[in-house]
Amino acid sequence: MKFLDQAKIYIRSGAGGNGCIAFRREKFIEFGGPNGGDGGKGGDVWVECVQNLNTLIDYRYQQHFFAENGTPGMGQNRAGPNGKDCTIKVPPGTQVFAEDGETLLADMTTPGQRVRLAKGGNGGFGNAYFKSATNQAPRHANPGQPPEEMTIWLKLKLIADAGLVGLPNAGKSTFLAAVSAAKPKIADYPFTTLHPNLGVVRAGDVDFVLADIPGLIEGAHDGAGLGDRFLGHVERCRVLLHLVDVTSEDVAADYKTIRRELKAYGNGIEKKKEIVALSKCDAVDEATLLERRDILKKASRKTPLILSAVSGQGVKEALYAIAREISRANTAEEDADAEAPGPWQP
């Protein structure tokens, strides 16, 4: 299945059915009177979050979604049926934006969540509705209300607890494959990963979802390389694991390059808790490893972890460090919810 995290679609609700102008015409009934029915309501357009989706690829091949129109009213006081709703199913983590790409209409995070995007037009009243003692033969009815139509953007931000960041070929995909059942593409050239990958990881009693995004390079916020469009997938992460290739000639420059790109992207990513690790540590000798660890420690102002996804060195320590940060974040959220004032009661 191909991965697609952005889609532009056009939606339109249903128009309301027109009211009917009709009169009873039956034998032996001298004064029939009006009996025109009301028109049916047009269908609504809903967006629904469903569990078993992880891409927006369906909306590459279909971009127009219409709800049914309401049926006009009929004689003998028969109301027109309502139009059927149109439901757009999206994976968890999808945000719905207006055509400008900035106005947020809905944030779909929980399976089963439903939001109405376009309301169907109400059906018009038939002439029977206007019957009164002073107007016993009304000859007018209401038309149905027009539909609502708009162009919207669907943008998927994968829901993961932890995210992997780093330069291309820093070992992110290898690490994900080593700690989970995910099978990302792994090769000895840059930009092997072309779309985000998810893996479920277990560390002790804690299960969490780990996201691997395509590597960043200098100038990614200006579109260099694959750009920074995939950084949206780590916006919801609680912690970032920043991998730095120990075989690089300047590990400090590599680290600072990624930090600059995270800061340029914004949206709070640069403020997230970060765990720094030197990857591919089985590829250098002990003296080189210690030297570059000290250089990276000075640049990042934190002690980096030493790991190798191939040999397994330091992998368990990295997973437990991620699990601890996730548990702390969950505890902080629970405390904040507990301290939040409840609804006011008189």
**C-alpha span between 190 and 295 (Å, rounded):** 24
30 φ, ψ to 5°? -70, -45
69: number of CA atoms within 13 Å, CB side? 14
277 labelled ligand-binding: no
109 labelled ligand-binding: no
Cβ distance 219 to 205 under 8 Å? no
186 labelled ligand-binding: no
Cβ distance 155 to 6 under 8 Å? yes
Can you give 253-294 as a three-state secondary structure string?
A: HHHHHHHHHHHHHCCCHHHCEEEEEEECHHHCCHHHHHHHHH
38 labelled ligand-binding: no
77 labelled ligand-binding: no
71 labelled ligand-binding: no
215 labelled ligand-binding: yes
81 labelled ligand-binding: no
Burial class (CB in 10 A: 0-12, 13-18, 19+), 119: middle
**C-alpha span between 48 and 87 (Å, rounded):** 7
176 labelled ligand-binding: no
39 labelled ligand-binding: no
Which residues, at least 6 apart from 326, have a Cβ–Cβ distance to it below 8 Å? 161, 162, 206, 208, 238, 239
147 labelled ligand-binding: no
170 labelled ligand-binding: yes
279 labelled ligand-binding: yes
Per-residue tokens: 65:
């979604």
Whose structure tokens read 């006081």?
A: 77
132 labelled ligand-binding: no
125 labelled ligand-binding: no
Cβ distance 51 to 111 under 8 Å? yes
Going by C-alpha positions, the residue among 8, 112, 117, 115 that lies closest to residue 52 is: 112
3 labelled ligand-binding: no
Which DSSP state fits 232? G
310 labelled ligand-binding: yes
248 labelled ligand-binding: no
278 labelled ligand-binding: no
126 labelled ligand-binding: no
**C-alpha span between 138 and 130 (Å, rounded):** 6
**C-alpha span between 142 and 323 (Å, rounded):** 62
309 labelled ligand-binding: yes
233 labelled ligand-binding: no
Helices (H), 34-129: 58-61
Binding-site members for GTP are 166-173, 191-195, 212-215, 279-282, 308-310
Which residue ranges are tagged as binding site for Mg(2+)?
173, 193
Binding site: which residues?
166-173, 191-195, 212-215, 279-282, 308-310
